[in-house]
């Protein structure tokens, strides 16, 4: 297997994508145990789902991991997250108002590790730490009327630049962030019973060209498939998800120049996060 180096240290040792993946794998296993204990359905999404289907584990060059759960399941998950082993800590807007609401709803991080992401505009503001993480996305009901759906997405999209601007000039726009989160929650409530689900409206990227929306019965009930040395859940029909989240050609390998890690700028895996 090709070695994808994320960092070369002064002593000549390296930290590879595979090193990071092995930590993420243990994190996924512990999250799965917790969700299984409480009957909380969730599934791998994006590159993590693609890895499960195309590679039977991580995509060799993938340096992150994503999971999704319906809002009602996420709310149950939040209530029991304290049962995760002590080496983990969670970050979300409900737990810390400095959390950036334009990123996934929650990050579950690992103590004793440190990661700096490539995206400087959405950098972590939470003082609890910068450990390696699993992204937790909320999925909610979506209108079956495309025009109405675009109207709500436009409302969210117009708020995102203002939130990001304030964040990056050192102001925490808590009131605006609460409105942004409430908008997403209200949209989901208004569409309860819809056959369509997708990423909640706080995930504003590529909203109009490629909204992340699929039929709920293509996702649930989830099914477990081999992932590295364990079994993890993917949608009932993973093709329906991957066609939307990745590409209709998702089973084809990308060009060699695109086979590279894209998320991590700096990483440490054997020490606590640095003081900031």
105-147 pLDDT, tens digit per residue, is: 999 999 999 999 987 667 889 999 999 999 999 999 999 998 9
* Cα–chain center distance at 117: 13
| 8-state DSSP, 260 | S
Tell me how far apart the alpha carbons of residues 215 and 212 are, in angstroms, rounded to a whole number.
11
Tell me how far apart the alpha carbons of residues 264 and 276 are, in angstroms, rounded to a whole number.
18
For residue 136, the cross-strand partners are 67, 106
Tell me how far apart the alpha carbons of residues 119 and 107 are, in angstroms, rounded to a whole number.
15
**pLDDT for the residue 255:** 95
Range scoring the smallest mean pLDDT among 53-67, 82-96, 159-173: 159-173
Tell me how far apart the alpha carbons of residues 266 and 135 are, in angstroms, rounded to a whole number.
18
> Around Cβ 37, how many Cβ atoms within 10 Å?
10
Task: Please check the confidence at residue 271 and state whether its pLDDT lies above 90.
Answer: no
Tell me how far apart the alpha carbons of residues 151 and 147 are, in angstroms, rounded to a whole number.
6
Tell me how far apart the alpha carbons of residues 138 and 187 are, in angstroms, rounded to a whole number.
13
Tell me how far apart the alpha carbons of residues 6 and 111 are, in angstroms, rounded to a whole number.
19
Which is nearest to 69 in space by CA: 133, 139, 123? 139
Task: Please check the confidence at residue 152 and state whether its pLDDT lies above 50.
Answer: yes
**pLDDT for the residue 248:** 94
Omega within 30 of 0 (cis) for the link into 45: no
User: What number is the average pLDDT over the span 11-27?
Assistant: 96
* Dihedral sign, Cα of residue 122, residue 125, residue 130, residue 135: negative
Q: Over the range 70-105, which residues count as b (16 or more CB within 10 Å of their CB) and which as e?
A: bbebbebbbeebeebeeebbbbbbeeeebbbbbbbb
Residue 108: its H or E element:
strand 106-110
Do residues 96 and 116 touch, judged by C-beta distance below 8 A? no
Tell me how far apart the alpha carbons of residues 268 and 274 are, in angstroms, rounded to a whole number.
10
Percent of the chain with pLDDT over 90: 86
Task: Please check the confidence at residue 275 and state whether its pLDDT lies above 60.
Answer: no
Do residues 177 and 166 touch, judged by C-beta distance below 8 A? no
**pLDDT for the residue 261:** 95
Tell me how far apart the alpha carbons of residues 47 and 59 are, in angstroms, rounded to a whole number.
7
């Amino acid at each position: 297997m090709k070695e994808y180096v994320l960092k070369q240290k002064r002593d000549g040792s390296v930290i590879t994508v595979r090193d990071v993946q092995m930590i993420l794998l243990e994190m996924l296993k512990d999250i799965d145990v917790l969700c299984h204990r409480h009957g909380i359905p969730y599934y791998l999404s994006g590159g993590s789902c693609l890895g499960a289907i195309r590679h039977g584990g991580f995509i060799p060059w993938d340096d992150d991991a994503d999971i999704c759960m319906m809002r009602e399941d996420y709310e149950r998950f939040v209530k029991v997250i304290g049962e995760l082993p002590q080496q983990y800590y969670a970050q979300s807007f409900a737990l810390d108002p400095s959390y950036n609401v334009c990123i996934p709803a929650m990050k579950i991080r690992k103590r004793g590790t440190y990661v700096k992401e490539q995206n400087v505009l959405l950098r972590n503001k939470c003082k609890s730490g910068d450990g390696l993480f699993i992204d937790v996305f909320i999925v909610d009901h979506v209108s079956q009327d495309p025009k109405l759906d675009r109207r709500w997405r436009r409302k969210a999209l117009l708020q995102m630049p203002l939130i990001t601007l304030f964040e990056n000039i050192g102001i925490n726009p808590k009131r605006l962030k609460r409105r942004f989160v409430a908008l997403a929650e209200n949209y989901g409530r208004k569409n309860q019973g819809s056959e369509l689900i997708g990423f909640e409206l706080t995930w504003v990227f590529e909203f109009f060209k490629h909204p992340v929306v699929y039929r709920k019965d293509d996702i649930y009930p989830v099914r477990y498939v081999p992932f590295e040395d364990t079994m993890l859940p993917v949608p009932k029909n993973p093709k329906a998800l991957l066609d939307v989240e990745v590409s209709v050609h998702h089973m084809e390998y990308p060009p060699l120049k695109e086979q590279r890690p894209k998320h991590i700028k700096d990483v440490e895996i054997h020490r606590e996060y640095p003081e900031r």
